Amino acid sequence: MSNSSGERSAAAAVRVLGSSTSPFVLRVMVALKLKGVEYEMLEETLGEKSELLLKSNPVHKKIPVLLHHGKPIPESLIIVEYIDEVWASNGVPAILPRDPYDRAVERFWAQYIDDKFPRGIRVTIGTVAGDQDEVIREMSTALQYLEEAFVKCSQEKHYFGGDSISYLDIALGSHLGWVKAVEKIAGVELLDRTKVPNLAAWADRFCAHPAVVDAVPDADKLVEFSVKYAALAKAFNASNITAN
Ligand X SMILES: N[C@@H](CCC(=O)N[C@@H](CS)C(=O)NCC(=O)O)C(=O)O
Nearest to 235 by CA among 46, 85, 76, 70: 46
- The count of chain residues that interact with ligand X, using the rule CB under 6 A, is 12
Nearer to ligand X, 61 or 103 (CB): 61
Min CB(78)–ligand X separation in Å: 8
8 A C-beta contact, residue 160 and residue 149: yes
d(CA 178, CA 77): 18
Nearest to 230 by CA among 123, 82, 98: 123
Nearest to 15 by CA among 5, 25, 3, 24: 25
Concatenate the DSSP letters of all residues of 22-51 into one string.
-HHHHHHHHHHHHHT---EEEEPPTT---H
Site string for ligand X, 43-62 (x = CB under 6 A): ------------------xx
Site string for ligand X, 107-146 (x = CB under 6 A): ----------------------------------------
Nearer to ligand X, 110 or 196 (CB): 110
Q: Determine the interface stretch with ligand X among 75-83, 92-100, 158-166, 214-222 (rule: CB under 6 A).
A: 75-83
Q: 3-state DSSP call for residue 68?
A: strand
Contact status: 76 vs ligand X (CB under 6 A): yes
Among 14, 63, 139, 186, binds ligand X (CB under 6 A): 63
Contact status: 196 vs ligand X (CB under 6 A): no
Q: Determine the interface stretch with ligand X among 9-17, 151-159, 186-194, 236-244 (rule: CB under 6 A).
A: 236-244
Min CB(31)–ligand X separation in Å: 12
Contact status: 242 vs ligand X (CB under 6 A): yes
Nearer to ligand X, 196 or 215 (CB): 215
DSSP secondary structure code for residue 71 in this structure:
E
d(CA 150, CA 104): 15
Residues 6-25 that bind ligand X (CB under 6 A): 22, 24
Which residues lie closer than 8 Å to 3 by C-beta, 6 or more apart?
none
Nearest to 183 by CA among 117, 110, 115, 109: 117
Contacting residues toward ligand X, per CB under 6 A: 22, 24, 61-64, 75-77, 241-242, 244
